[in-house]
């Protein structure tokens, strides 16, 4: 199973911090944000990782991370021109990843836990082709929100709903079977890009929901996206607190 870290985008919500650098290189307390994300995949048992980059900071990432040997992983890089959404960024990794199952993580998502057990379960699971990781949040309107039915079954996912059907947001971690690139192509052919000009990962995930091939994993540990000032501070404070307890 290969890993994919999506670290493109412009980071416009975090100007002026991102005027001369990529937001994924900003510090989360004691390390660059990208270190935290890389370690989430590595500690889950994934050793081959593709990082999707954009903008003008590609050289900074390569100087910082190199070939990944310092972290005990093998790193590869893919370039995304502009901001076309999560699904479009993931589609760019097909030449490197196609033929393998894939764990996808957004480069600004900070998780307390690793997911080794869930990864092993996914490998053996014959019933589901997609694992989505849900977290109960107080502000679900900011996220893709899962409507959850009996026994934790996902009934639908709506992107940034005005009237959320639950408080469970879909976090930026996804496990997919190797057919993920066919699913993305299906969205391109039948749905296309959204009003935001993006190829929405929610549309892709809803294909798995429709086919009954998705499992919800409910997170108990800390999670936050660190893509705005408040959540970057929240993530830094959590890491600081956790380090002081160790």
177 Cβ contact partners less than 8 Å away, ≥ 6 residues apart: 101, 129, 130
| Mean pLDDT score of the chain | 93
pLDDT recorded at residue 204: 96
| Cβ atoms of residues 102 and 86 within 8 Å | no
pLDDT recorded at residue 154: 94
pLDDT recorded at residue 194: 87
224 has a pLDDT exceeding 90: yes
Distance CA 152, CA 148 (A): 6
The CB density around residue 41, as the number of other CB atoms within 10 Å, is: 26
User: Domains (ranges, CATH) in the chain?
Assistant: 2-244 (3.90.550.10)
Band (6; pLDDT cuts 50, 70, 90): very high
* Mean pLDDT (whole number) for 42-59: 94
| Cβ atoms of residues 61 and 54 within 8 Å | no
Of residues 102, 94, 26, the one with CA closest to residue 57: 26
- DSSP-assigned letters across all residues of 50-84: EEEE-TT-HHHHHHHHTTSGGGTSEEEEEE--S--
DSSP-derived secondary structure letter, 167: S
Distance CA 244, CA 132 (A): 31
| Cβ atoms of residues 18 and 11 within 8 Å | yes
Band (246; pLDDT cuts 50, 70, 90): confident
Distance CA 174, CA 205 (A): 9
230 has a pLDDT exceeding 80: yes
Q: Where are the alpha helices (DSSP H) in the chain?
A: 33-43, 58-65, 86-91, 94-97, 116-124, 180-190, 201-210, 229-245
Of residues 59, 49, 156, the one with CA closest to residue 104: 49
Write the burial class of residue 213 (CB in 10 Å: 0-12 exposed, 13-18 middle, 19+ buried). middle
105-140 residue pLDDT tens = 999 999 999 999 999 999 999 999 999 999 999 989
Largest CA distance in the chain: 51
Its pTM stands at: 0.95
Distance CA 232, CA 26 (A): 9
82 has a pLDDT exceeding 90: no
Distance CA 176, CA 173 (A): 10
| Cβ atoms of residues 168 and 141 within 8 Å | no
């Amino acid at each position: 199973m290969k890993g994919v870290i999506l670290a493109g985008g412009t980071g416009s919500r975090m100007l002026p911090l991102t005027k001369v650098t990529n937001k994924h290189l900003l510090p989360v307390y004691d390390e660059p944000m990208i270190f935290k994300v890389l370690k989430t995949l590595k500690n889950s048992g994934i050793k081959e990782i593709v990082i999707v980059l954009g903008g003008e900071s590609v050289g900074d990432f390569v100087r910082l991370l190199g070939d990944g040997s310092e972290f005990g992983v093998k790193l590869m890089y893919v370039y995304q021109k502009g901001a076309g959404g999560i699904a479009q960024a993931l589609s760019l990794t097909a030449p490197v990843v196609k033929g393998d199952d894939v764990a996808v993580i957004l480069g600004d998502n900070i998780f307390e836990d690793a997911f080794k057990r869930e990864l092993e379960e996914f490998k053996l699971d014959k019933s589901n082709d997609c694992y989505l990781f849900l977290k109960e949040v107080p502000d679900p309107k900011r996220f893709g929100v899962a409507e959850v039915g009996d026994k934790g079954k996902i009934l639908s996912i709506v992107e940034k709903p005005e009237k959320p059907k639950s408080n469970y947001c879909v976090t930026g971690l996804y496990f997919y079977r190797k057919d993920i690139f066919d699913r993305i192509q299906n969205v391109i052919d039948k749905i296309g890009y959204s009003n935001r000009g993006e190829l929405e990962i929610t549309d892709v995930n809803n294909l798995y929901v429709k086919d009954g091939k998705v499992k919800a994993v409910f997170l108990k540990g800390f999670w936050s996206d660190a893509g705005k000032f408040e959540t970057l501070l929240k993530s830094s404070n959590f890491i600081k607190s956790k380090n002081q307890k160790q």
